[in-house]
């Protein structure tokens, strides 16, 4: 047996693949072969490391060297210098912007320092397409322990004691959910994994499935043992081809190893998993809608109760949990509920994965203990606001959440605090905004999404959100009145109170939270007809500063609608009634004479 001395981990997550990490793996492999080092070093394609901003990432084990923004052309140098001679390639190391020093070990990077990786424990460490690597990291140990040492009720008690709450958004206690499904008597029960991550800007579920699919499979089997279900179903978005592929491979491997199928570990427990594909509908993240979609119907929600725990897929009791929730389960079983409960706040235990994105320096996937503050996340892990601009807001919870401001920065993040602040945990999208973002437009953006994604079954959501969107459009065009702002508030409340499912009950949150936190900005749009961020085109006017203009005619030639007139070498003027506000003149002007007000 050959001894591999060094592993080169290459990120194979969607983010890094989009910046051609596959080419990096290939080039590394070729270079290793050329130098005759195949037997000593091995290239492993892993799941997401999380630090997507600096992708593609290559990590060298055992010395933990973390290379960023690696291109296929860099492969030769990494092999020749690092693998062969043991010298780190300085120019590919991460440069700490604050201390202006390179950091070679990811454990010393501010991006990772405050993170605790439980759900993401194997992401960026193992090859997700190789079950042996998962097993080497105590994989399937938790399942074995449950089947051989615990009764189903004992396992449920462990989960209850850990304080784990649903990571899909609602935050329902997971152990309690399992217990309810377990108590219902039925000839057939189902374990369902909700992998329909529809929240735009959130990609944690996909990263877990791409980076560590076995952890979800193992947890679903444990759930099956607890609830008495022999069949598991994963409802996954068809838009996630890589996650689907890796999950299929993982299921096949688990079957081959006898970890799925008949008589698992010789205990007489049967469990198998099948995939069901979503087809692009945000509302299908809602349990009842998801179940209808799995049955081949339109994904429309139905009234609860009855809850899926009693009456779910094909009318049978079904336990629905989210990907990230499942990924926590095996660790809780192995390390014990007390360990898990020691992390986090009083009512929210453990960690949460967030997709940190937007106007922040370090975009990526992070896992932090509950109770960390937004300030720590945005300014330490996130490295602050891009281009040194000013922080304005952070949106959490996606289209169901709200925008929080600077005064919330020191609030510890947990389910209850976020709700109290007018937002929610949601699935974990976290979008940072700066001074250039118009909050009225952001509210409009989310409503546009909701209008498109509303299933149309109940009228408050179908019609109400459409009206909200129209009013917001009116305000952005500069045609809003103060009365409209009142209407927004009232209508939002009605939609929240009367909608059938979670989508409608939360869809006005972006409007309500921006009204609450950015009232001045709404008033400016309505009364002063101004958009301070310069986003709402109708409220802006392009003019030419006669003193700065040299009459070069560049703007007039760039204007697509001939709105600019003036003689050569004379100051030009813009006719506002023709101007379509495309900004082409401003881009072309070399003298900064075109102004935007």
Partner 1 sequence: MAIIKLPECKVNQLKEICKSFNHDSGELINVLHKAQEVFGYLPAEVQEIVAKELNVSVAHVYGVVSFYSFFTMTPKGRFPISICMGTACYVRGAEKVLDEFRRELGVKVGESTPDGRYSLACLRCVGACGLAPVVMVGEKVYGRVAPEDVKGILAEYSNL
Could you tell me the smallest distance in angstroms from the CB atom of residue 1 to partner 1?
Answer: 38
- In whole angstroms, how close is the CB of 312 to partner 1 at the nearest point? 14
User: Does residue 433 bind partner 1 (CB under 8 A)?
Assistant: yes
If one asks whether residue 461 binds partner 1 (CB under 8 A), the answer comes out as: no
Cβ of residue 382: shortest distance to partner 1, in angstroms?
Answer: 12
- Tokens 């602040």 correspond to what residue? 421
Task: Give yes or no for residue 363 binding partner 1 (CB under 8 A).
Answer: yes
Verify binding: residue 238, partner 1, rule CB under 8 A.
yes
CB atoms within 10 A of CB 236: 23
**Of residues 91 and 297, the one with the C-beta less far from partner 1:** 297
Nearest CB to partner 1, comparing residues 203 and 379: 203
417-422 — which CB contacts under 8 Å span 24+ positions? 422/509, 422/512, 422/513, 422/516, 422/517
Among 6, 7, 19, 551, contact with partner 1 (rule: CB under 8 A): 19
Q: Is 390 exposed, middle or buried (0-12, 13-18, 19+ CB in 10 A)?
A: exposed
Q: Which of residues 32, 52, 372, 549 is near partner 1 by CB under 8 A?
A: 52
207 binds partner 1, rule: CB under 8 A? yes
Q: By rule CB under 8 A, what count of residues binds partner 1?
A: 51
Say whether 354 sits in a helix, a strand or coil: strand
Strands 231-237, 269-278: pairing kind:
parallel
Neighbours of 478 (CB within 10 A): 17
Taking the least distance from each CB to partner 1, the nearer of 293 and 321 is 293
Determine, following the binding rule CB under 8 A, whether residue 299 of this chain makes contact with partner 1.
yes
Cis status of the peptide bond prior to 62, with omega within 30 of 0: yes
| 4, 95, 136, 279: residue in contact with partner 1 (rule CB under 8 A) | 279
Q: Which stretch binds partner 1 (CB under 8 A): 32-40, 331-339, 431-439, 516-524?
A: 431-439
Whether the CB-CB separation of 479 and 429 falls below 8 Å is answered with no
Q: Is the dihedral of CA 285, 19, 91, 122 positive or negative?
A: positive
The least distance separating partner 1 from the CB of residue 442, rounded to whole angstroms, comes to 8
Interface residue with partner 1 among 178, 190, 203, 271 (CB under 8 A) is 203
CA pseudo-torsion sign 363, 369, 374, 379: negative
CA–CA gap between residue 352 and residue 366 (Å, rounded) = 8
| The only residue of 113, 297, 541, 568 in contact with partner 1, by rule CB under 8 A | 297
- 585: contact with partner 1 by CB under 8 A: no
Please tell me whether residue 206 binds partner 1 under the rule CB under 8 A.
yes
Residue placing its CB nearer to partner 1 in the complex, 149 or 295: 295
- Determine if 189 is a binding residue for partner 1 (CB under 8 A): no
In a 13 Å sphere around the CA of 228, the CA atoms on its Cβ side amount to: 15
Q: Does 428 bind partner 1 (CB under 8 A)?
A: no
Of 185-193, 201-209, 483-491, 496-504, which part binds partner 1 (CB under 8 A)?
201-209
Considering only 10-18, 83-91, 97-105, 512-520, which stretch makes contact with partner 1 by CB under 8 A? 10-18
Query: Could you tell me where the beta strands, DSSP code E, fall in 187-239?
Result: 190-195, 231-237
- Does 395 engage in binding with partner 1 (CB under 8 A)? yes
277 binds partner 1 (CB under 8 A): yes
For the record, the structure tokens of 128 come out as: 């997700």
Q: Which helix (H) or strand (E) holds 402?
A: strand 402-405
Q: How far is the CB of 445 from partner 1 (least distance, A)?
A: 6
The per-residue b/e assignment along 138-169, b for 16 or more CB within 10 angstroms, e otherwise, is ebbebbeebbeebebeebbbbbbbbbbbbbbb
| Closer residue to partner 1 in complex, CB, 415/446 | 446
User: Is 321 near partner 1 (CB under 8 A)?
Assistant: no
Pick from 127, 199, 367, 484: which binds partner 1 (CB under 8 A)?
A: 199
Q: Is 316 in contact with 188 (CB distance < 8 Å)?
A: yes
Beta-sheet strands, E only, within 62-117? 65-67, 94-96, 101-103
Q: Are 507 and 450 in contact (CB under 8 A)?
A: yes
Residues that bind partner 1 (CB under 8 A): 14-15, 18-19, 52-55, 198-203, 206-207, 238-240, 276-282, 293, 295-299, 314, 355, 357-359, 363-364, 395, 398, 429, 431, 433, 437, 442, 445-446, 449, 452, 455
């Amino acid at each position: 047996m050959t001894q591999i001395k060094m592993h080169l981990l290459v990120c194979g997550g969607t983010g890094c693949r989009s910046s051609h990490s596959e080419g990096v793996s290939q080039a590394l492999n070729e270079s290793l072969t050329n130098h005759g080092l195949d037997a000593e070093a091995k290239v492993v394609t892993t799941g997401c490391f999380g630090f997507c901003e600096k992708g593609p990432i290559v990590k060298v084990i055992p010395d933990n060297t973390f290379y960023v923004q690696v291109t296929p052309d860099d492969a030769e140098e990494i092999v020749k210098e690092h693998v062969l001679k043991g010298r780190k390639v300085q120019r590919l190391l991460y440069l700490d912007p604050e201390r202006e020093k390179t950091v070679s070990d990811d454990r010393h990077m501010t991006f990772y320092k405050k993170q605790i990786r439980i759900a993401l424990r194997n992401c960026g460490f193992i090859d997700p397409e190789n079950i042996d690597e998962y097993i080497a990291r105590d994989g399937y140990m938790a399942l074995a322990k449950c089947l051989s040492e615990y009764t189903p009720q004992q396992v449920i008690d462990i989960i209850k004691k850990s304080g784990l709450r649903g990571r899909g958004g609602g935050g329902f206690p997971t152990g309690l959910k399992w217990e309810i499904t377990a108590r219902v008597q039925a000839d057939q029960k189902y374990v369902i994994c909700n992998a329909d991550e529809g929240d735009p800007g959130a990609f944690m579920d996909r990263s877990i499935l791409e980076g560590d699919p076995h952890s979800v499979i193992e947890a679903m089997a444990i759930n099956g043992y607890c609830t008495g279900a022999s069949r598991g179903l994963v409802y996954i978005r068809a838009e996630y081809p890589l996650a689907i592929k890796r999950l299929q491979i993982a299921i096949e491997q688990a079957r081959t190893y006898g970890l799925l199928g008949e008589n698992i570990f010789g205990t007489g427990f049967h469990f198998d998993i099948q995939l069901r594909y979503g087809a692009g509908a945000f509302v299908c993240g809602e349990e009842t809608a998801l179940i209808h979609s799995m049955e081949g119907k339109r994904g429309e929600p139905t009234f609860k109760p009855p809850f899926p725990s009693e009456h779910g897929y094909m009318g049978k009791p079904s336990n629905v949990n989210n990907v990230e929730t499942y990924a926590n389960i095996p660790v809780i079983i192995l390390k014990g509920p007390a360990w898990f409960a020691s992390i986090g706040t009083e009512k929210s235990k453990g960690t949460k994965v967030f997709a940190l994105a937007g106007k922040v320096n370090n975009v990526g996937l992070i896992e932090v203990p509950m109770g960390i503050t937004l300030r720590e996340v945005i300014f330490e892990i996130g490295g602050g606001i891009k281009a040194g601009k000013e922080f304005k807001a952070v949106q959490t919870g996606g289209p169901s959440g709200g925008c929080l401001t600077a005064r919330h920065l020191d609030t510890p993040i947990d389910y209850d605090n976020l709700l109290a602040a007018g937002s929610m945990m949601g699935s974990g999208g976290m979008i940072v905004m700066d001074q250039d973002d118009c909050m009225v437009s952001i509210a409009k953006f989310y409503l546009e999404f909701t209008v498109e994604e509303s299933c149309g079954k109940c009228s408050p959501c179908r019609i109400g959100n459409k009206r909200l969107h129209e009013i917001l459009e009116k305000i952005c065009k500069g045609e809003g009145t103060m009365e409209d702002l009142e209407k927004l508030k009232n209508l939002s409340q009605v939609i929240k109170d009367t909608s059938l499912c979670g989508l409608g009950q939360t869809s006005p949150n972006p409007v309500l939270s921006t009204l609450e936190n950015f009232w001045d900005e709404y008033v400016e749009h309505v009364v002063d007809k101004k958009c301070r961020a310069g986003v709402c085109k109708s409220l802006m006017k392009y003019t030419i500063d006669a003193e700065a203009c040299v009459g070069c005619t560049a703007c007039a030639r760039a204007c697509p609608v001939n709105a600019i007139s003036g003689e050569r070498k004379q100051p030009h003027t813009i006719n506002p009634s023709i101007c379509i506000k495309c900004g082409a003149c401003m881009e072309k002007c070399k003298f900064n004479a075109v102004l935007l007000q």
